[in-house]
Structure 1
Amino acid sequence: MRLLNRSAGRLSRHRRGPIAGLVVLLAALCLSGGLYAAFSPSSAADDSSIGDAAKGKELFLVGCAFCHGQNAEGQTDINGKLIGPSLAGVGAASVDFQVGTGRMPLAAPGQQAPSKKKVYTDEEIADLAAYVASLAPGPAIPTAKDYSTDGLTKEQKEEAIVRGGQIFLTNCTACHNFTGEGGAMPRGGYAPKLLDTTPKHIYEAMLTGPQSMDTFSNGNLSPEEKRDVIAYIGSMKEEPGYGGFSLGNLGPVSEGLFAWIVGLGVLVGFAVWIAAHTTRTSKRKGLSA
């Protein structure tokens, strides 16, 4: 009994010691971090298996290192202005999006990299993605099951479109327009048209947040929610234009411009014609008298 009392006394003294609180805090952090890693949705993965990282490095040194650095650490000019950001941690999905849409390699510095015909083949893009993925963990390239609704029933597809529409109208219309046609943004940027973008690249854009776009990681929008947004965008391609002449589906700006130029222009021209016709008629009556 005395031995137990002595042990309890020692434990009590250690609990009141200055290091006890630090030990408890570290244990709590380790426990919470382990539980989060185990149960949270993962958006980072090593995609080095999608291609040959060694070949990707060779391609990188030839076509990308001038802007991003020999080790993808990023580059700045002599004035400290960023030329190319660091690629550590951007993941294979970012490479697949940027290079797969032709935005990279960049033809010339500008406010925003435009989409154009891709320079590299699919195999070369996979090698580049594998090399960048080997630098640090980052978002993986999505597969068809991540963004496709082919495995769903008709009712489930309709429900996915409805859910995706709610997410799109809440988070995306401010930049991409309510019809996905895109639009102008501050500082010379613009939101691209979504209806011409493949589902995989839309998913990757949400996952990686290219340029001015916000990043919607799997912690912000689950993979199912991203799939639903893509399903809604796909439904807009098949939706007929109930309003007649769409004027590019750009909303009140194009409609107001059309009203001013065409609508008021026709009215002004008609008023001028009436005034000119009335003047000629009066002159003829005066001559007859």
Structure 2
Amino acid sequence: MAKKFSRTSADRRKVGRRHPLAAVALIAVGLLSTGGAYALFTTSATADTSASQEQLVEEGGKLFAANCATCHGMDLQGTSEGPTLIGVGEAAVHFQVSTGRMPLAASGPQAEEKPVQFTDEQIEAMYTFVGSKSPGPGLPDEETIAGNGDAALGGELFRINCAMCHNVAGAGGALTQGKFAPSLAGVTSTHVYEAMVTGPQNMPVFNNNNLTLEDKADIITYLQFLEANPSPGGFDLGNLGPVSEGLFIWIFGLGAIVAITVWLTAKSN
């Protein structure tokens, strides 16, 4: 008769025990799976972004060749009809094209704002193309143009750096040889920032050594404050200062006094 054997509790524990490295192996497999999936996703996203960027550059190159290269050259080197665009960056192209200043309608003292001739997608393609050829100032981030800066400090910086041309209230003003500083009323914060970093027309360039990003944000905040708070004194006479105000008093104020005097004299006679 065969002898019957049974496992003891100690034997059962020995058989059911995991290898000491099993937990490490499971963690390693999990990390490799997660890392592989992330790498695959990131690679796919990067490839899609790269393809989209290349398509933008290609489309922008076609638009540039058809609308800009005659004056600025196929390689952005400039010609006798237009300046070089090497180093101007995306901000300059976006400012000039999205305000209608470019393409230039006719030669003159300076390019004037006019209806925009391109869609937002076409404008993006053009500034992406120029930026890919030669890096320069880029478009602002949302934090800089959000209007969350110090309006009082921005007003002080504006009066020091900008008011001599644009007027203390941003109403604009005349310059020499038929040139002018445009009014800043209704100008978007993006365009204000781009003008500061690229110096269009007769405007100087305010890089981050002249005005920091915080300074630019403060100036933009001040201009937004002016936009949202009209003159508390009533009719602002174009915000052109004491000249227009004095002229108004001489013509209408003294004119009214003379008219009343003549009326009183004629009535007494």
**TM-score, normalization by structure 1:** 0.70
Matches within 5 A, 1:42-53: 49=53, 52-53=56-57
Structure 2 partner of 1:128 = 126
Of 258, 263, 271, which residue of structure 1 is paired with 2:248? 258
- Whether 1:141 and 2:145 are equivalent positions in the alignment is no
- Whether 1:98 and 2:96 are equivalent positions in the alignment is yes
1:134 Cα shift? 2.1
Structure 1 partner of 2:169 = 179
Provide the identity percentage: 48
Structure 1 partner of 2:65 = 61
1:219 Cα shift? 2.1
Deviations 1:16-57 (A, max 9, x none): xxxxxxxxxxxxxxxxxxxxxxxxxxxxxxxx9597122111
Structure 2 partner of 1:80 = none
Count of matched residue pairs: 218
Name the CA distance, whole Å, in 1 between partners of 2:146 and 2:95: 17
* Runs of 4+ residues over 6 Å off in structure 1: none
Residue 187 of structure 1 aligns to a residue in which SS? coil
Name the CA distance, whole Å, in 2 between partners of 1:227 and 1:277: 62
Matches within 5 A, 1:187-198: 187-198=177-188
Structure 1 partner of 2:45 = none
Q: 1:178 to 1:131 in 2, by over 3 A?
A: same
Structure 2 partner of 1:85 = 83
Q: Which amino acid aligns with 2:94?
A: D
The answer to whether the 8 Å contact 1:146/1:224 transfers is yes
Matches within 5 A, 1:183-262: 183-262=173-252
Residue 115 of structure 1 aligns to a residue in which SS? coil
The answer to whether the 8 Å contact 1:68/1:74 transfers is yes
**Root-mean-square deviation over aligned CA pairs:** 2.0
Residue 237 of structure 1 aligns to a residue in which SS? helix
The answer to whether the 8 Å contact 2:170/2:184 transfers is yes
The answer to whether the 8 Å contact 1:60/1:128 transfers is yes
Q: Which has the larger radius of gyration?
A: 2
- Whether 1:167 and 2:157 are equivalent positions in the alignment is yes
Residue 188 of structure 1 aligns to a residue in which SS? coil
The answer to whether the 8 Å contact 1:51/1:129 transfers is no
1:128 Cα shift? 0.7
1:272 Cα shift? 3.8
Structure 2 partner of 1:30 = none
The answer to whether the 8 Å contact 1:51/1:123 transfers is no
The answer to whether the 8 Å contact 1:144/1:200 transfers is no
1:222 Cα shift? 1.2
1:137 Cα shift? 1.9
Name the CA distance, whole Å, in 2 between partners of 1:198 and 1:130: 21
Name the CA distance, whole Å, in 2 between partners of 1:219 and 1:53: 31
**TM-score, normalization by structure 2:** 0.75
Relative contact order (alpha carbons < 8 A, sep ≥ 6): 1 or 2 greater?
A: 1
Q: Which amino acid aligns with 1:110?
A: G
Structure 2 partner of 1:108 = 106
Structure 2 alignment gaps of length 5 or more: 1-51
The answer to whether the 8 Å contact 2:186/2:227 transfers is no
Which has the larger displacement, 244-253 or 268-277?
A: 268-277
Structure 2 partner of 1:70 = 74
